[in-house]
């Protein structure tokens, strides 16, 4: 009678191969890190000044951006009750030669259920996000206000990048919305001035990163795994109420939507 050990002995090469594959699979999971971060590098737009984006003598700088798909978290917010909040974990890297101040402005625009939502500073929500994304505090996750306290330092040529980590938060996003875009302003000092008819009023347009997403679920069972990035990322020039330096500028008129737009004010 052939013993089990004899069979395993004959199949030892296969056993070792399977064991090796298992070790490699585990290593791949460990080195992949938390989440599936997407990297967006600076790119030239037709409205950029020629040969000036992140060039040695260029006047237009652009920061690199890494992000995860937006995620959902349920938090009891003081004065608001229990809310499902959306958040975007991100990192910025400065690959230019000089430090640059990042004054972030994150705008989430739902497309199939028209609405516009600005990111908010919600300390209770931010603390809950830290417990999920950075329980040790190593990344020192910042919000859209604390991100402006210090300029983003330039990466050194012969060393690993020095990312700065942040989070954008939205609440009361329409639960029936399945297609949306996130517009990220402040990653560049690039801007242009356009004249809008019929009165030819001048409008400031900032270089902005556009990220498109879709959600495959419904309003009754919302969770983070439903949200998917729809590549590619686009660098566009977009009308804004902020100037190129991040300060208030004359309000830019937006194109009239087909349906009334919902505006959620930033918490003060």
Cα separation, 46 vs 188, in Å, equals 15
Query: Does residue 232 form part of some domain?
Result: yes
- Residue 23's pLDDT band (boundaries 50, 70, 90)? very low
Cα separation, 183 vs 192, in Å, equals 17
pLDDT digits (tens, 9 = 90+) for 143-152: 999 999 999 9
Q: Which domain holds residue 149?
A: 33-264
Query: Does residue 20 form part of some domain?
Result: no
- How confident is the model at residue 51, as a pLDDT? 58
Q: Indicate the SS3 state at residue 22.
A: helix
Query: Does residue 21 form part of some domain?
Result: no
CB 253 within 8 A of CB 197: no
Q: Which residues pair with 209 in a beta bridge?
A: 184, 235
Query: Does residue 50 form part of some domain?
Result: yes
Cα separation, 169 vs 146, in Å, equals 14
What is the DSSP annotation of 123-182?
HHHHHHHHHHH-TT-SS--B-TTGGGSSPBPBPPTTS----EEEEEEEES--TT--EEEE
Query: Does residue 15 form part of some domain?
Result: no
pLDDT of 34 strictly over 80: no
- Written as six digits, the tokens of 123 are 């300390």
- How confident is the model at residue 200, as a pLDDT? 81
pLDDT digits (tens, 9 = 90+) for 110-169: 999 999 999 999 999 999 999 999 999 999 999 999 999 999 999 887 888 889 999 999
The structure tokens 């417990």 sit at 131
Query: Does residue 226 form part of some domain?
Result: yes
Instruction: Quote the percentage of the chain above a pLDDT of 90.
Output: 53
The backbone torsions φ and ψ at residue 19, rounded to the nearest 5 degrees and listed phi first, read -65, -40
pLDDT digits (tens, 9 = 90+) for 191-224: 888 887 888 888 889 999 999 999 987 676 676 7
Kindly state the helix (H) or strand (E) to which residue 227 belongs, with its residue range. Answer: strand 227-229
Q: Within 13 Å and on the Cβ side, how many CA atoms surround 12?
A: 4
- Written as six digits, the tokens of 223 are 């969770």
Query: Does residue 11 form part of some domain?
Result: no
80 prior amide bond cis, ω within 30: no
Number of domains in the chain: 1
Query: Does residue 10 form part of some domain?
Result: no
CB 61 within 8 A of CB 188: yes
Cα separation, 60 vs 190, in Å, equals 5
């Amino acid at each position: 009678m052939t013993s089990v050990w004899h069979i395993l002995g004959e199949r030892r090469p296969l056993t070792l191969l399977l064991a090796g594959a298992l070790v490699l699979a585990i290593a791949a999971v460990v080195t992949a890190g938390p989440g599936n971060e997407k990297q967006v590098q600076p790119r030239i737009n037709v409205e950029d000044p020629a040969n000036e984006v992140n060039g040695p003598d260029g006047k237009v700088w652009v920061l690199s951006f890494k992000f995860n798909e937006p995620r959902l978290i349920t938090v009891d917010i003081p004065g608001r009750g229990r809310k499902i909040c959306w958040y975007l974990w991100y990192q910025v890297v400065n690959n230019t030669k000089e430090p640059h101040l990042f004054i972030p402005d994150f705008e989430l625009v739902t497309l199939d259920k028209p609405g516009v939502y600005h990111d908010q500073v919600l300390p209770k929500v931010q603390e809950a996000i830290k417990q999920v994304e950075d329980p040790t505090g190593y990344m020192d996750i910042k919000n859209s206000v604390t991100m402006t306290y210090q300029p983003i330092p330039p990466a050194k040529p012969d060393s690993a990048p020095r990312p700065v980590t942040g989070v954008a938060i939205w609440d009361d996003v329409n639960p029936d919305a399945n297609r949306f875009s996130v517009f990220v302003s402040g990653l560049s000092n690039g801007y242009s001035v356009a004249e809008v008819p019929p009165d030819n009023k001048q409008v400031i347009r900032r270089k902005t990163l556009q990220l498109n997403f879709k959600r495959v679920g419904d309003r009754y069972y919302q969770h983070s795994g439903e949200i998917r990035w729809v590549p590619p990322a686009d660098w566009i020039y977009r009308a804004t109420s902020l100037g190129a330096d991040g300060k208030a500028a004359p309000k830019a008129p937006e194109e009239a939507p087909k349906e009334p737009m919902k505006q959620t004010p930033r918490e003060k």
